[in-house]
Amino acid sequence: MENGVASTKEEGFLSRMALNDNKAGMEGLDRDKINKIIMETSKGSKFYENELKRDQQVNQRITKMMLQKARITEQQLKKAQAQVEKVSTALEKSRDLSRVIVHVDMDAFYAAVEMRDCPELKDKPMAVGSMSMLSTSNYHARKYGVRAAMPGFIAKKLCPSLVIVPLNFDKYRAVSNEIREIFADYDPNFQPMSLDEAYLDFTDHLEQRQHWPESTRTHHFRPMIFSNLPGIAPNMMLAKVCSDKNKPNGQYRLPSTREAVMDFIQNLPVRKVCGIGKVSEKMLNALGISTCSHLGQQMALLSLLFSETAWHHFLEVSLGLGSTYIPRHEERKSMSTERTFKELSKVEEQLSLCRELCEDLAEDMKKEGLKGKTVTLKLKNVNFEVKTRAMTLPCAVATVDEIFAVAKDLLKTEIENESPQPLRLRLMETPETRRPSLAE
């Protein structure tokens, strides 16, 4: 019996941490060998225990969902199907194939910056991060199964010769700003999602370019030393999927026809879609759903088992629909800064880091001309448990002192909650949600 329980635990852990050989650079690897190393290295660690805990929570949700499914009647399914068809018809009428949306993902961005500054790393397996957690890895490292969001101590077991370079956000931000200047030439209202990712609407640019002299039609993307992976499609959801299609150095354009869109998503794994993560994927898999076409076939059932927001999203995905409107800079809802580190347990160091993050955030907000009313502090402890605390203010704030005053109180509350034990952290993030109107 104990062996059976242990086997179930290992399967649960591997469902979260196993090699994903669908990712660029990891095709054709020895999956069983890599997963065995991951398992043997992780066992007994806090990371392993936390992943087991999270998997158990998902399993409990699945058990509850399956009990709910067993109680659904044919009459309820028929009624749900009618509702789904009504919503589907309305969504179909809203389909817009007129826009050319581009999603740009700078491939292995942090690693590319480090290899630019230290060329001898180009031919070595390397990653950026720490022994606690990696942020990215180059393609030499991926051949060993080393990837982002993997603890460095596991990566070292997979690849003993791996070089781990510490994160340097000041450097990455400087390079990102240079790249964003290029993006602005194509779409002044592009939407940055992170330092290495952005959405652009090329529709107007392509219209204008028809009138350019032939000699000026080839522009900035070519001389960039970093691999950029544009996905081109009629909406943001599809563009993001397309940007992952031809890694590491290609681009993919999905034709702007309904037939092409529906063919594209037919066998697309649900995990490839933004907004469907590990948890949702496992819950959908429990219902026999693994592709986007399966979503469409099971929509009536999904509408009875998931929240309205969730099943509406699933329905949009099954139809290949997504937003065609890229919000302008001034319409951004939030900004954030984040740091991952080995361990931080001294109060003075935690407060100092919090202040540093607030300074970075205030600087970014100043550049965008934004103010915010809700300050949020996200913390991850050494047991990999995540806590998020927020405070909404009566007036919008923007200066470092104003933001830090709130973030400091939130942090001190968590420190006091852990007392007399120290608060032992490995990640801190200060996102700030801004008010709807433009800052004056």
Catalytic center residues: 197
Other C-beta atoms within 10 Å of 6: how many? 11
Other C-beta atoms within 10 Å of 178: how many? 10
Contact 335, 368 (CB under 8 A): yes
The CA distance from 411 to 413, in Å, is 5
Kind plus residue range of the DSSP H or E element containing 425: strand 425-429
- Locate 378 and state its tokens: 């996200």
Nearest to 377 by CA among 364, 365, 361: 361
Can you tell me whether residue 96 is helix, strand or coil? coil
With b for 16 or more beta-carbon neighbours within 10 A and e for fewer, the 20-30 pattern comes to eeeebbbeeee
The pair phi, psi for residue 340, each rounded to 5°, is -110, 140
Contact 260, 254 (CB under 8 A): yes
The pair phi, psi for residue 339, each rounded to 5°, is -135, 135
Give the angle 134-136-140 at the CA atoms, nearest 5°: 110
Give the angle 145-148-154 at the CA atoms, nearest 5°: 55
CA 68 distance to own-chain centroid: 30
